[in-house]
């Protein structure tokens, strides 16, 4: 029904310019403690937006696809007793409108043989929770391994939001990993008018969101959060690091805090923090909140137009004021 473009904001370009010019490696705390702290501040702020409790961990990624790979790999590694010989019996539940990056991620992490169930949606394009639970029960009865469910808040095709709170109830009863794809619609959580759509997101096991959509940052800006940060850490450190990654100031010792490279499959990575921090710091969160509110009101206005209703809508966002 629509194509979702992106914009860029100038302070983000300045942030990238500085990151590129100084060529900061912010993947390891001992290499750039300030850079890691900057990234961590942004992750903490994002976690607050979605109501994640303390103990979470996350990473700044190249976008929703890489973020989904990290989340699904963490889910795979967190499932006790799950072995490669079982992967063909693993079942992942999505809706008809779930973004295809989920299936790509499953293939990437070795779950290409997993069964992916497309759960039907209702008249408002939301996942049918009753159909979900019935399908999970049927799969379990038939010897399959119900594994994870993906709820979307802001489908790319129509902008619909799955009932996350109800899906979380099913996930808890059935022992499923609940992953929330909020890549497109996530930052609408900043708007009071849309908060109800995010009820239950704080109960999810993982969530992804793209700042290059809702915050108008340059492409290549994603975030992944895992509610139980220990699981994200274990999933990405199930190997022995090279000696060159040890703290050069204190050989043989570990960093006092987790490094981004311990929370992602990436080692070499762009220092993405400044492109997100600069706009938020210079413009303030309220500027982005008002921009998103404008989009909600324009959508409501367009809805009334196609219904043939005569309406007058006033937009007054600081310097922005016009009538329709």
For residues 319 and 265, membership in a common domain is answered with: no
Please give the share of the chain, as a percent, with pLDDT higher than 70.
88
Q: Which of 127, 237, 121, 242 is nearest to 176 (CA)?
A: 127
Residue 3 lies in a domain: no
Comparison of pLDDT for 320 and 294, the residue scoring more: 294
What's the CA gap between 177 and 53, in Å, rounded? 17
For residues 206 and 75, membership in a common domain is answered with: yes
Write down the pTM of the prediction. 0.91
Lowest-confidence region among 36-50, 102-116, 244-258: 244-258
Comparison of pLDDT for 157 and 105, the residue scoring more: 105
For residues 74 and 169, membership in a common domain is answered with: yes
Q: How confident is the model at residue 204 (pLDDT cuts 50, 70, 90)?
A: very high
Q: Which ranges in the chain belong to alpha helices (H)?
A: 10-22, 33-50, 64-78, 101-108, 129-141, 164-174, 211-214, 229-236, 273-283, 285-306
For residues 294 and 151, membership in a common domain is answered with: no
Residue 2 lies in a domain: no
Check residue 8 and give its pLDDT.
84
**Left if phi > 0, otherwise alpha if psi is -120 to 50, otherwise beta: which for 267?**
alpha
Residue 1 lies in a domain: no
Query: For the chain, what is the domain count?
Result: 2
Q: What is the pLDDT of residues 219-240, one digit of tens each?
A: 999 999 999 999 999 999 866 6
For residues 97 and 122, membership in a common domain is answered with: yes
The parent domain of residue 318 ranges over: 286-323
Check residue 219 and give its pLDDT.
93
Check residue 321 and give its pLDDT.
41
Predicted confidence (pLDDT) at residue 249 exceeds the cutoff of 70 = no
For residues 164 and 51, membership in a common domain is answered with: yes
Q: Which of 95, 114, 75, 260 is nearest to 167 (CA)?
A: 95
Residue 222 lies in a domain: yes
For residues 155 and 292, membership in a common domain is answered with: no
For residues 34 and 142, membership in a common domain is answered with: yes
Q: How confident is the model at residue 6 (pLDDT cuts 50, 70, 90)?
A: confident
Residue 190 lies in a domain: yes
Check residue 7 and give its pLDDT.
76
Q: Which of 248, 224, 223, 274 is nearest to 29 (CA)?
A: 248
Check residue 256 and give its pLDDT.
52
Q: What is the pLDDT of residues 126-151, one digit of tens each?
A: 999 999 999 999 999 999 999 999 99
For residues 46 and 169, membership in a common domain is answered with: yes
For residues 301 and 163, membership in a common domain is answered with: no
Query: From the CB of residue 282, how many other CB atoms can be counted at a distance below 10 Å?
Result: 14
Residue 15 lies in a domain: yes
Residue 4 lies in a domain: no
Check residue 309 and give its pLDDT.
78
What's the CA gap between 140 and 134, in Å, rounded? 10
What's the mean pLDDT in 209-216?
A: 95
Q: How confident is the model at residue 86 (pLDDT cuts 50, 70, 90)?
A: very high
- Residues 291/216, Cβ–Cβ less than 8 Å: yes
Q: How confident is the model at residue 214 (pLDDT cuts 50, 70, 90)?
A: very high
Predicted confidence (pLDDT) at residue 252 exceeds the cutoff of 60 = no
Residue 140 lies in a domain: yes
Report the CATH number that the domain containing residue 60 is assigned in CATH.
3.40.640.10
For residues 165 and 297, membership in a common domain is answered with: no
Which 3 state secondary structure label does DSSP give 47? helix
For residues 154 and 292, membership in a common domain is answered with: no
Comparison of pLDDT for 255 and 51, the residue scoring more: 51
């Amino acid at each position: 029904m629509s194509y979702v473009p992106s914009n860029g904001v100038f302070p983000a370009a300045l942030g990238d310019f500085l990151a590129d010019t100084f060529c900061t490696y912010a993947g390891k705390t001992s290499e750039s403690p300030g850079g890691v702290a900057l990234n961590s501040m942004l992750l903490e702020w994002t976690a607050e937006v979605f109501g994640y409790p303390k103990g979470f961990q996350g990473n700044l990624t190249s976008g929703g696809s890489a973020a989904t790979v990290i989340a699904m790999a963490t889910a795979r590694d967190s499932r006790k007793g799950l072995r490669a010989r079982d992967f063909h019996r693993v079942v992942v539940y999505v809706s008809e409108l779930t973004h295809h990056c989920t299936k790509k991620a499953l293939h990437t992490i070795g779950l290409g043989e997993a069964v992916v169930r497309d759960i039907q949606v209702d008249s408002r394009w939301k996942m049918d929770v009753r159909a979900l639970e019935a399908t999970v029960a049927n799969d379990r009865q038939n010897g399959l391994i119900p594994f994870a469910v993906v709820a979307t808040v802001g489908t790319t095709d129509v902008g619909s939001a799955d009932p996350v709170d109800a899906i979380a109830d099913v996930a808890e009863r059935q022992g499923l990993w609940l992953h929330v794809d909020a890549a497109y619609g996530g930052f609408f959580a900043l708007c009071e008018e849309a908060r109800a759509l995010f009820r239950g997101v704080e109960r999810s096991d993982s969530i992804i969101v793209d700042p290059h959509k809702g915050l108008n940052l340059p492409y290549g800006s994603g975030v992944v959060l895992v509610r139980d940060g220990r699981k994200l850490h274990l999933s990405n450190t199930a190997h022995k690091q090279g000696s060159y990654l040890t703290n050069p100031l204190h050989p043989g010792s570990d960093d006092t805090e987790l490094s981004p490279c311990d929370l992602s499959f990436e080692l070499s990575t762009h220092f993405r923090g400044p492109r997100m921090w600069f706009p938020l710091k210079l413009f303030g969160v309220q500027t982005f909140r008002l921009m998103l509110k404008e989009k909600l009101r324009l959508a409501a206005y367009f809805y009334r137009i196609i219904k043939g209703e005569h309406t007058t809508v006033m937009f007054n966002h600081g310097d922005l004021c016009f009538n329709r």
